[in-house]
Structure 1
């Protein structure tokens, strides 16, 4: 009798699956078994057909993390080391967040809709709000042939949402933390504006020092306040062409505290004020015939103000300590061709980057140190090709080549009083 019930239940389950299979087979394949990825081979391929270790973080998983930025999403990924100088991905001037794949230092290329964010090896993951992210593709293998030397460890491609609903989000926590965001979506247009107040955090890190004291004392850092604000919007000009603009500001104030509150400035012997500003423009063309054109321009500006006090409470030095601004121009064209069952991809890219760096003079132990001015620039040209050769139903051979030229490399350094 039990045997018959078991057979009957099996028959019912089988019948249900067969009757509904046609309704959700396509959805099951696309979202559960084998998602489409584009980063590893620069063209859309099924995950199982891609000869690289690719992880995809979909929108549903991004929402479950509860993170406010790409930094907080990525730090929960397996096999990816994500660090920052400050809490929750906060950047202190040029000390920005960092993502390391397979232990390769400065070998991770970060893309936003295919636009490179790396400039002088730096990028701000905390400036990308999760509200705009559709999915993240992480390629855990050397991608320097397809993307250049900055991708020697791997590639992180953050792909933004194209359809955004109208929404207002407000949240608050202890220690003065607040978060606001507004998303607006209409046909062909979407925008996200955000403002985060980070509040205060005591004793973010400590350091032991002896100084003039006879025994070692403990000094620590205190995060006084900071905020992140910005806007990102895109407009779909036509079915193939999209324009995107993003602007963001980060401000953070950090104090270094001496344990003897009677000394210095109410216990503060140094105040650090950091400000980062990012501005980028992207024009993206993509048609059904495999032609892709990407043109982008971006700037990164970072400033650091420092004030120091003596043990008698008098101010010893104050003002702008360092400032740097970089410009990044990218132009890329690629085309894919069907060659029977095989795929041929050819492309070329041009990148121009420059950086101006300034460090002011400061007072150290009664001596004046020299200020420094430096700037560098270079042009980078690349051509690349990839041939995806299908040998059989289970075997594929990929042949990739790349040639890169650096031209007009110029670096200047001056000492000024």
Structure 2
């Protein structure tokens, strides 16, 4: 079975969610998804057909069938998911970031890992997350701001990790220095995943970019990527049926070279990005759910001219966010009530020492500069009432109050939402937001 979205051009944004036989479509357009339950769209478990949102659920095994090893490169084949990169191995010049978004809305896609925000300033590195760690991915297209805040106005991608791992080992090699090593280890209550991906030098990839002054002589330059590596470590420990701990470490190290016409190196950049994600999750199976988390991203960007390797330009930044989320669900045959509260703190600092003159190997360095630390505290209260009006029709009223206190200023935001859904039959439903 599959779930198909057919939008109608109505002012209320009505949409039909259809479930049909995959054989009814051509092989090239097949999209497989789990027909069952999702937890992301409404904050509690509900079937896709009864959810007033465009939700698609992909199992980790389904995503592996794309041939990709990581979440981002598997999702890029799915309808409505936009993925951009500038070079092989998901490299991009200077920033090193590939971009994943829903419905083409830049900066409006919230990435979650087990329901916890995993983005740093709208940047998330799902290209570093091995599919061996993934149980399923729930993709909600459209605004999710009431439950998740304004970062989710384009949609939500929630990666749900496995509680248990099967023992496995994978080794692969290709040309251009491509290497891929991964292992998964299941040991009772603990699971561990390890991965390394490597790529060799590409040589010149661009047209002429301009000129650089090397020892007083203007030289045309081009751009290419040098060696690159991506490392991943995942650890999961299940204390019991209620309490679990999850930790992930991701590291990507890219090199970028400015090259002469003869492929000789003129200037060399390193990009070192390290991310830590730690979560402690409690669920009592009776509607109470609590998560405490700590995320950190550390970036190092040194570069130098080949003729003056001792004259080093550099930048370092550190971005931390940590917090907790608590929610409780009460339900009976006709009603569901969700109440929640979350709090978070973000810290950011950047320091650097740049060349005084751009594109000149003889340039001196500017004085040391530091920006921050900048901080932000956020507090959110949210609630939701889900009422079954009949066997076919549900109405959902949601609201959220955000209180933001930061060095850049303070603001409050109240976000209400009304949703109505009617099941037309066992395979179709009609909803309005």
Q: TM-score, normalised by structure 1?
A: 0.83
Whole-angstrom CA distance in 2 between matches of 1:401 and 1:72 = 34
Tell me whether 351-360 or 400-409 shows the greater mean CA deviation: 400-409
Report SS of the residue matched to 1:278: strand
Distance 1:318 1:136, change over 3 A: farther
Report SS of the residue matched to 1:174: coil
Listed as ranges, the matches of 1:132-211 within 5 Å are: 132-209=133-210
Return 5+ residue gaps in structure 1 as ranges. Answer: 1-30, 412-417
Select the residue among 266, 269, 288 that pairs with 1:269: 266
Shift of 1:202: 2.8
Shift of 1:372: 2.6
Select the residue among 385, 388, 394 that pairs with 1:387: 385
Report SS of the residue matched to 1:88: helix
Report SS of the residue matched to 2:277: strand
Distance 1:286 1:94, change over 3 A: farther
Shift of 1:99: 1.6
Shift of 1:198: 1.7
Listed as ranges, the matches of 1:255-294 within 5 Å are: 255-259=257-261, 261=262, 267-294=264-291
Aligned position for 1:396: 394
Report SS of the residue matched to 1:150: helix
The answer to whether residue 121 in structure 2 is matched with residue 120 in structure 1 is yes
CA-atom RMSD in angstroms: 2.4
Select the residue among 322, 331, 334 that pairs with 1:329: 322
Asked if structure 1 preserves the Cα contact closer than 8 Å seen for 2:167 and 2:185, the reply is: yes
Tell me whether 222-231 or 106-115 shows the greater mean CA deviation: 222-231
Whole-angstrom CA distance in 1 between matches of 2:212 and 2:197 = 38
Shift of 1:59: 2.5
Asked if structure 2 preserves the Cα contact closer than 8 Å seen for 1:303 and 1:320, the reply is: no
Whole-angstrom CA distance in 1 between matches of 2:57 and 2:220 = 44
The answer to whether residue 84 in structure 2 is matched with residue 83 in structure 1 is yes
Select the residue among 226, 231, 234 that pairs with 2:233: 231
Aligned position for 1:28: none
Whole-angstrom CA distance in 1 between matches of 2:390 and 2:336 = 14
Q: TM-score, normalised by structure 2?
A: 0.80
Shift of 1:207: 4.3
Bigger RCO of structures 1 and 2 (CA < 8 A, at least 6 apart): 2
Whole-angstrom CA distance in 2 between matches of 1:286 and 1:33 = 23
Return 5+ residue gaps in structure 2 as ranges. Answer: 1-31, 410-433
Distance 1:351 1:206, change over 3 A: farther
